[in-house]
Chain A
C-alpha cells in the first residue's frame, strides 16, 4: 500500500532514527444472548494507522483514521514532534532498540471456515438452542451465551525495510448458567477461552451437551456444601483453571517492562527481578514454562510482533529456575539482551505497542499420568475446574483465586461437590508446591482474550495451557 512508503520516506526525511507504520483494520462480531433475548448483535470495525518515531532515544506515537497522503505525512510529523518532546524527559542517552533485521513476509491464521462467513441466523439458532436447553432446567434463572469473533488485518512497514502483511483472527464462545435456589445464587460456565481458529472448532464442541452439563452442574453447585475454616490442603487444578493462575503469577511477573518498572504507576511491577535470572527457584523441578508465539491456534501467534520481530519459542522457567523474560525491542537492551523475544503488541491501530505476555504454557509431565490416577493418588484435597475470583498484588507475589466448580477429594475419590472455595498462596510457594503434572495427552490450551494492561488501557490476548497438576500444602477454605 502506498501509504507505507509515504510514511517511511517522510520519517527518514525528518531524520527519524527508526520509524514504523502499522495500518490496521480490526473487525469484531459480538452476539450476546441473555436468556432468549439478544442483547447485542453487532459488527464493529475500526481502521486507521499508528506511526511510531524513535529519535535520540525517545518515542513519539501518533495515529489517524484519515487515509490520504497529506494526513499520513502530517501524522509522521506529529509523531516526530512528540518524540522530540519525549526526549526532554529521558534518562541519560535514552532508550536503545535491540538489533533486528528486515523481513518481507505474510502470515494468516489458519482457518478452514471463517466465522464471519457463517450466516448470522445459523449462529443465533445455535445459541438459542443452547440457552433454551439451559432454561429448561428448574432452578436455572439465567442463561447467557456470549460469542465473540475478531479479526485483525495489518500492514506493517519499518525504516529497517520490513514489510509485513498479517491477518490474525480468533473465536471465543462462552456459556453460563446461573441457578437461584435456597437463598443462594451460583453460576457455572463453559469457557475454554478464545482460540485462533475458525468455525470448525465450534462445530466440534457439541455445545448442546456442554449446556446440559453446565446447567446440571450449576444446580449441583448452588446446593453444594462450603468449606469452612481455612486449612492447608492439596489442590488438583484443571487446565482451564490453571490458565488464569499462570497468567497472573507467571505471565505478568515475567513481562520485562514490569520487571523494569515501566508499569509501576498502574499495572504494577514484578518481584522476578533480573538478578534472579538463572538462579531463582520459581517452581519445583518439574515446572517448565515456555513462551511460544509459534503455538498452533495460539492467540499471540502472528508470525511477527508489532516491532517486526519474528515469533519465537523459549524457556521462561526451566526445571523450576527463572530463565528469561518476554521482551520487546525497547525493553530487551535495558538488561543487556541483544535481541527481543518479540512480545510487542498493540490492540488497535491507535494504541502504541507494549510489552505483552506471549503464549505461555506449562509443559506436561514427562511420566505417564492420567487425571484419574492423580485423583486416586490424593488422600485429601480439592479439585478445581474453571475460572473464578482472582486477585494478586501489584508485585505479583500474594494471590487469592477461586474457581468455577469444585470437588472435595477423599481417599482418592471425588467425594462431594463444593462451592465458594478460595485458595491463598504466593510466589514462590505455589509453583514450588507442584509435585505432579499429568502427561501430554491431557494438555489443553486456554486462550485469554481480555488481558487489560497499559494506559490508555489495551486488551491483549495470548494462549496458556497445561495438563491437570497437583499442588501440596496450599491454604484452602471457603469465602465468608
Chain B
C-alpha cells in the first residue's frame, strides 16, 4: 500500500500549482460482524480509500477529498481544491505546511490480526452466543477487524507513513433485568483470550442477579476502566489550549498549576508497545512523550499549530492516552470507604457547562452496591452531573492500569462523593 500511496503523492507533487499543499491518504480494509439476540444481524466487508488534498495560494485555502485513484480523478481533485482556494477569502490564521521532520518508529501492524479469517470471527461469535444460551440469556455484540494505512505528504517536505491493525470483540449479555457488557480492543488479535472475556462477562452477569432500588446521592464510587475512559475523554477534549487561553473552559489560567488531584496524571506515551501509537497527528504534529497532567499539575495542553505559532508555543496533540495507576484492588478499595458503588460503564456523557467543565451521563451495564468491604447487591442505573477535574481531587485509590481500548490504558479508580442526581427505572 505504501508504494501505491507514494505514487499518488508523486502525481500530486508533480501537478499541483498551488503555493503550498497538505496531502493525506488513508485506506481501510474492514470486516465487521454484528450480532444481536443470539444471531448475526449485519456482516460487512470491503476496502476504501480517501485522498484528501488541501492547497493554498498565499493564505487562501481550499480542500477536496475523493475515493478514486485514477489519474482523471486525481487531476479533478487538484483542480477542485485549487479552484476553491482561488475563489476563497484569505485565511488570517493560515499556517504553512510542515517541513521534513523525523517521527518515531512505531509498530502498530500485527501479523496475528492480519491473518485472522472471517470464519474464525464467526466462530468467536458462535462461542459467545453458546455461552449466553447456557445462561438462558441473549448475547449481542460486534466482532471486527481493520487494517489501516496512512500517508501524509506536504509541499514543504514532510512525508510520513504508518499502518496499523485493530481487532475488537464485544458482548452484551441480557436476561430479564440483568444487562452487562465486556469489550476487548487491541491492535494484536494474538492477545485476545475469548475464555477470559467470557469468564469476566459471566462473573459480571452473576453479580447482577439480585437488584435493589437505590436513590441518587453523593457517594464513593469505584469507576472501572471502561467507564473512566468515557468520563475523562471529555475532560481531555475540554483541555484545548486555545479555548483555555480565550477564557472558554475551566482550564483557563491553569497551566503549570496544581489544578487537579495529586494522585492524577495523564499522558501520551511512546513507551508502551501494547498501545496503538500514531507517530504523527492528522495535523502533522510529531508524537512525543507528553505529560498532559503530572501529579495534578497541568503540564501541557493540546495546542493546534496555528495557536502554537501565534503564542510561540510547541504544538501538541494526544496520540494515545495513559493514566498511570496504582496497586489497589477492587476488594481493597471497597474496604477504604464505609459504602459505595461500582460502575462498569458510563453512557451518553455530554457537556452541561463548558466553562465549569461539568458533564452529565448515565451508568450502564451494571452498578453494584458495596458496604463493609463487600458487594451486597446490584442497583438501578443512575444519572450523574459531575466535573471530571474536580473528581480527580477526590481520588482515594487507583488500581493497575489495563488496556481499555487499542490506544487507551487506564486504571480503576475510587472517587469519593461522586454526584449522582437521578435514577432510572432499570
Interfacial residues, chain A to chain B (CB-CB below 8 A): 34, 36-48, 50, 58-65, 75, 78, 81-83, 85-86, 88-91, 94-95, 119-121, 124-125, 128, 141-142, 178, 180, 184-187, 260-266, 268, 271, 350-352, 354, 389-395, 397-398, 400, 402, 420, 422, 424, 426, 455-456, 479-480
Contacts and interface: CB of A to CB of B under 8 A. Distances in A.
Interface stretch (B81-89, B98-106, B150-158, B317-325): B81-89
B67 A46 contact: yes
Nearest to A424: B422
A120 B68 contact: no
Contact of A42 (B64, B67, B247, B354): B64
A61 B44 contact: yes
B42 A264 contact: no
**What 3 A-B pairs are tightest by C-beta distance, nearest first?**
A398-B424, A63-B46, A42-B63
Q: Max chain A CB contacts within 10 Å: which of B39, B52, B65, B247? A: B39
26 contacts: A39-B93, A43-B81, A61-B44, A62-B44, A78-B46, A85-B43, A89-B38, A141-B247, A180-B248, A185-B354, A262-B36, A262-B37, A265-B142, A351-B44, A392-B362, A393-B362, A393-B381, A400-B422, A422-B352, A424-B422, A455-B32, A456-B30, A456-B32, A456-B144, A479-B353, A480-B358
Interface in B50-85: 50, 52, 54, 61-68, 80-81, 84-85
Given A78-B45, A350-B48, A89 B358 contact: no
B61 A402 contact: no
Nearest to B63: A42
Q: Max chain A CB contacts within 10 Å: which of B40, B179, B358, B364? A: B40
A261 B87 CA distance: 50
A479 B355 CA distance: 12
A59 B44 CA distance: 9
A352 B42 CA distance: 7
B62 A264 contact: no
Contacts of B48: 46, 48, 63, 65, 350
Given A352-B42, A422-B352, A266 B142 contact: yes
Interface of B: 30, 32-50, 52, 54, 61-68, 80-81, 84-85, 87-89, 91-94, 118-119, 122, 125-126, 129, 138, 140-142, 144, 170-172, 174, 179, 181, 246-249, 306, 347-356, 358, 360-362, 364, 381, 383, 385, 387, 419, 421-426
Contact of B42 (A59, A121, A128): A59
Contacts of A58: 40, 43
B248 A264 contact: no
B122 A85 contact: yes
Nearest to A180: B247
B44 A264 contact: no
A265 B160 CA distance: 37
B50 A46 contact: yes
Given A389-B360, A391-B350, A391-B383, A40 B63 contact: yes
Nearest to B362: A393
Nearest to A260: B37
A58 B40 CA distance: 7
A265 B181 contact: yes
B211 to A, nearest CB: 14
B376 to A, nearest CB: 23
Contacts of B94: 37
A50 B47 CA distance: 11
Given A265-B170, A424-B421, A88 B37 contact: no
A24 to B, nearest CB: 11
Contacts of B66: 44-46
Contacts of B89: 38, 121, 124-125, 128
B362 A394 contact: yes
Q: Max chain B CB contacts within 10 Å: which of A39, A264, A265? A: A265
A415 B349 CA distance: 32
A156 B362 CA distance: 41
A480 B87 contact: no
Nearest to B422: A424
Contacts of B81: 43
Contacts of A354: 42
